[in-house]
A and B are shown apart, each in its own frame.
Chain A
């Protein structure tokens, strides 16, 4: 990146990925692993973005179809999908995305809060915006994206 000289500034490391044709990212410290897609066991009475659960080395991992969750066009080709396993401290979940792009190091000063556009329902999922090499990267608020446990979504 072009900002490596400014070492004194607080930096944020992000994992960027593509989902529904757009660029998103999550703080890299919340990413536990990246793995290939597996056939998920679907959960009855679950919201549409809930792909189901998969077996992650003996634990039951719920999978969120991020494109559906963010209200983007869902790409049907499941084989190319990648699952980013994120850890929110109290629980773990998998985010199904199209492809992982890069690891970015961004100074905090270059992260802007998203403008307030009420028409867009997905706004609450984005906690910040930044521009890298001319592309706008959205930083996801994982606590908003993942439904709290115990929430019965029937």
Chain B
């Protein structure tokens, strides 16, 4: 039971996510039936599951919420902005209740109370009869060990238990049966419609028996791959309405085919009782009686079925299997018949229904990641041994090793992909932070997210939550002006906070932007001087002033609000992002807003690097930081100050940095003519030319953290183990360049530039 309970809570988290998604879509103006249905179903499923485990408080709240949503669904209630906000708030509380139930804690009643009251006000007090309607479902769930509930009321798919067949179905009074003949024209396919979706939509309305008419299908030699040859006869057996939904009538069925109106032949006939003729019309079902009716049974019970993983494989055979025996000429036709069947089959992967998933203990994955890391090191060692043995590059051993290398890389990428997950869950948590923060400080805020399907390593997501929360709160509290100030400045009263994620050249870029007043630089400077963070006469550029925000002990809040300015400063944000191997930068324009950009490494385990030598040490430069490599010629090098050089590259000047000197390994060289230089690019578009002694190799290296065993080293991101077993340090080029002295000449050696 504990396992089923745990599964419910995992399942509930997913439902909460789709609830949030649905509400967001709804709020964004996508107010169609499907959107509100998704929201409704999510709440409904949570209620059903919670009922099975006797989580009364959760059931009660979900029920009230559901009643309000049902009013929206049936058109009785057209929610305004305030009502949608209430729905969001309700979703948050529902999430809290789920978590409270999971952890066995209690949520104070004064949290749920006002929201319940507000929801009740929205709908009036019409919920008593539904309560009664819901009870039997709860009972059947308890008896059946919380399996699939036949009535379709709670339909939470709990893994490990087979769904019960709809037992009471045939006796139900209001049951209606329809026969639908659906023959798409060529135009239907040309316009991008997919018959499979229509059949699925029907399957959600009731129990379906689908038979495919392939008689029109020509031989393989004459077939036009873009033509529609197939027609379907669907027998739809609708269960009685659930009390909270309208009964299925012809209009409802026609609605399914609304978008293909005129693109197909559609005949809908109603049958009160099952006519025997119908059974005769469907001979193909007889050879496979187990698969065909069995499959729709999985689909049938409830709208929630669409979210359950089981139907995905089940209804594909239902559509595909029957045709074969029906064919008059089995031999020539079996191949073309297989083709259209195969065509819809890959669809489920791209379609809305989730692919089959496995839940794995994170520890097992981490073990695998570590092992793959060792494999990569081992492979590097092997390569080195082979090279040392002096085998020619095209020898069988070398080519075999090359393939091995490719395989290692593939394995490594696949393993990292297991750990990656969409950043969406994190963004949704931030949406809640925005809602709470904005209501706390009394500002109207619109929260916009972009790229929420960007996949990020799980650890990164977990460890980003705190810094992001802080930055989002800051954006709402300090970033956005007060509503009256916004209006006075001619901006819309509603502030805007944008959270974006994207992959950018091997890193993940996350941006938190507000359209507020921007950083008040004179004020920042003033505070920094007051607190003694900078000298009063210090000359600072705008970006240097912005970066003062990251100094420990800095708080811009001239008035400390309840939200931010409570000790956890931006310096903590920066250090936690640095701990992930990331960086954070600010750009701000007075009156237009502030943007924080966080750049993070894609994985925490492996990177592509260039192995270079500097002053006798071997170092690794991340490949994504290197724009190009070049050899310095006489005309490239220009002296700048008494100790510094710049390099002229295609009309631009970039500072010259000597890696060996910056790391303190040696004094600057007398002459850099002919030196090998790596042109390092940074996120802000700045470049720097870094002198190395030699480029030795380019390879994948496994990242071994230094922080845990030694501590942070300026300019160094991590360490790795090379093929010869030696440790090499991995550079953090932007950090190195930011802290670089740029000394490329001994001070006492005057050189003609």
A residues lining the B interface (CB < 8 Å): 39-46, 52-55, 58-62, 91-93, 147, 149-154
- Interface check B725, CB cutoff 8 A: yes
Cβ of B374 and Cβ of A58 under 8 Å apart? yes
B residues lining the A interface (CB < 8 Å): 374, 377, 617-618, 662-665, 704-716, 719, 721, 725-729
Q: How far is the CB of A46 from chain B (nearest CB, A)?
A: 7
Cβ of A44 and Cβ of B727 under 8 Å apart? no
Which A residue sits closest to B727, measured CB to CB? A41
Given contacts A41-B618, A42-B617, A60 and B713 within 8 Å (CB-CB): no
Across-interface contacts of B715 in A (CB, < 8 A): 44-45
Q: How far is the CB of A41 from chain B (nearest CB, A)?
A: 4
Q: How far is the CB of A39 from chain B (nearest CB, A)?
A: 7
Cβ of A61 and Cβ of B729 under 8 Å apart? no
Cβ of A45 and Cβ of B714 under 8 Å apart? yes
A60 CA / B708 CA spacing, docked (Å): 9
Across-interface contacts of A59 in B (CB, < 8 A): 704, 709
Across-interface contacts of B663 in A (CB, < 8 A): 44-45
Q: List 6 A-B contacts (CB under 8 A).
A: A41-B729, A44-B665, A44-B713, A58-B721, A60-B719, A151-B711
Cβ of A152 and Cβ of B714 under 8 Å apart? yes
Across-interface contacts of B712 in A (CB, < 8 A): 150, 152
Cβ of B711 and Cβ of A53 under 8 Å apart? no
A59 CA / B721 CA spacing, docked (Å): 9
Cβ of A53 and Cβ of B664 under 8 Å apart? no
User: Which of A39, A43, A92, A93 interacts with B713 by CB under 8 Å?
Assistant: A43
Cβ of A53 and Cβ of B708 under 8 Å apart? no
Across-interface contacts of A62 in B (CB, < 8 A): 709-710
A53 CA / B707 CA spacing, docked (Å): 12
Cβ of A43 and Cβ of B377 under 8 Å apart? no
Given contacts A53-B727, A60-B704, A60-B719, A43 and B710 within 8 Å (CB-CB): yes
Q: How far is the CB of B693 from chain A (nearest CB, A)?
A: 15
Cβ of A60 and Cβ of B711 under 8 Å apart? no
Cβ of A149 and Cβ of B707 under 8 Å apart? yes
A70 CA / B494 CA spacing, docked (Å): 64
Cβ of B711 and Cβ of A41 under 8 Å apart? no
A58 CA / B376 CA spacing, docked (Å): 12
Cβ of A58 and Cβ of B377 under 8 Å apart? yes
Which B residue sits closest to A50, measured CB to CB? B710
Q: How far is the CB of B44 from chain A (nearest CB, A)?
A: 49
Cβ of B665 and Cβ of A42 under 8 Å apart? yes
Q: How far is the CB of A31 from chain B (nearest CB, A)?
A: 17
Instruction: Tell which of B374, B709, B714 has the most Cβ of chain A within 10 Å.
Output: B709
Across-interface contacts of A54 in B (CB, < 8 A): 727
Across-interface contacts of A44 in B (CB, < 8 A): 662-665, 713-716, 729
Across-interface contacts of B727 in A (CB, < 8 A): 40-41, 52-55, 60
Instruction: Tell which of B663, B705, B711, B729 has the most Cβ of chain A within 10 Å.
Output: B711
Cβ of B714 and Cβ of A53 under 8 Å apart? no
Across-interface contacts of B377 in A (CB, < 8 A): 58
A62 CA / B222 CA spacing, docked (Å): 74
Cβ of A53 and Cβ of B719 under 8 Å apart? yes
Which A residue sits closest to B729, measured CB to CB? A41
Across-interface contacts of A39 in B (CB, < 8 A): 726
Cβ of A149 and Cβ of B708 under 8 Å apart? yes
Q: How far is the CB of B736 from chain A (nearest CB, A)?
A: 9
Q: How far is the CB of A58 from chain B (nearest CB, A)?
A: 6
Q: How far is the CB of B726 from chain A (nearest CB, A)?
A: 6
User: Which of A55, A58, A60 interacts with B710 by CB under 8 Å?
Assistant: A60
A90 CA / B729 CA spacing, docked (Å): 23
CB-CB nearest 6 A-B residue pairs:
A44-B663, A41-B727, A62-B710, A150-B711, A60-B704, A60-B719
Q: How far is the CB of B535 from chain A (nearest CB, A)?
A: 21
Cβ of A45 and Cβ of B664 under 8 Å apart? yes
Across-interface contacts of A153 in B (CB, < 8 A): 711
Which B residue sits closest to A92, measured CB to CB? B709
Cβ of A152 and Cβ of B711 under 8 Å apart? yes
Across-interface contacts of A45 in B (CB, < 8 A): 663-664, 713-715
Given contacts A59-B704, A60-B721, 17 further A-B contacts (CB under 8 A): A41-B719, A41-B728, A42-B665, A44-B662, A44-B665, A44-B714, A44-B715, A53-B709, A55-B721, A55-B727, A58-B374, A58-B721, A61-B709, A93-B709, A149-B710, A150-B712, A152-B711
Q: How far is the CB of B475 from chain A (nearest CB, A)?
A: 29
Cβ of B716 and Cβ of A43 under 8 Å apart? yes
Cβ of A55 and Cβ of B664 under 8 Å apart? no
Across-interface contacts of B617 in A (CB, < 8 A): 41-42
Cβ of A91 and Cβ of B664 under 8 Å apart? no
A58 CA / B704 CA spacing, docked (Å): 9
A153 CA / B714 CA spacing, docked (Å): 10
A39 CA / B710 CA spacing, docked (Å): 17
A135 CA / B269 CA spacing, docked (Å): 107
Q: How far is the CB of B705 from chain A (nearest CB, A)?
A: 8
Cβ of A41 and Cβ of B710 under 8 Å apart? no
A53 CA / B720 CA spacing, docked (Å): 11
Which B residue sits closest to A45, measured CB to CB? B714
